[in-house]
Amino acid sequence: MQIYKDFHFEAAHRLPNVPKGHKCARLHGHSFQLRITVAGDAPPPMNWIMDFGDLKKVVNPIIDQLDHYYLNDIPGLENPTSERLCEWLWEKLSPSLPQLYSIELKETCTSGCLYTGPNAAD
Ligand SMILES: [Zn+2]
């Protein structure tokens, strides 16, 4: 069983390693949509995997490190692709969120990354 909570943040970035002339080399911003999914059993008497409020308490301080920042300035995000952002978020969240199952990050309405952790096949 899985539960998820959606978050969002605004941030600017540019991708320094794309070919010359690529639009993502220019400074621009996104309204990132983030979905954090945790998995586990939901045994009685609570019948839940975890408290949504506790999930929010873990994720919000990490979001605060990204919201309204220039992502390239953040250690580990020198090349802030959605893929790298998902890995960075996983590194930050997994120590205090052992039930973490997946991180889904959308940078536009139609483009996003789904990451299921460093040990997953995909
Ligand atoms: Zn971008």
Which tens digits make up the pLDDT trace of 32-63?
999 999 999 999 999 999 999 999 999 999 99
pLDDT at 8: 98
The pTM score is 0.95
Residue 121's pLDDT is 56
Residue 8 annotated as lining a ligand binding site: no
Domains detected in the chain: 2-115 (3.30.479.10)
Among 8, 10, 22, 24, the active-site one is: 24
Q: Is 8 annotated in the active site?
A: no
What pLDDT is attached to residue 122?
53
Residues 27, 102: Cα–Cα separation, whole Å: 28
119 confidence band (pLDDT: 50, 70, 90): confident
Beta carbons within 8 Å of 20's beta carbon, 6+ residues apart: none
Predicted local distance difference test score (pLDDT) of residue 112: 98
Residue 13 in marked binding region: yes
Query: 82 with 114: CB under 8 angstroms?
Result: no
Question: Using 50, 70 and 90 to split pLDDT, how confident is the model at 120?
Answer: low
- Centroid of ligand 1 to alpha carbon of 107 (angstroms): 7
On average, the pLDDT of the chain sits at 96
* Helix, strand, coil % over all residues of the chain, rounded to 5: 30, 30, 45
Could you read off the pLDDT of 64-81 as tens digits, one per residue? 999 999 999 999 999 999
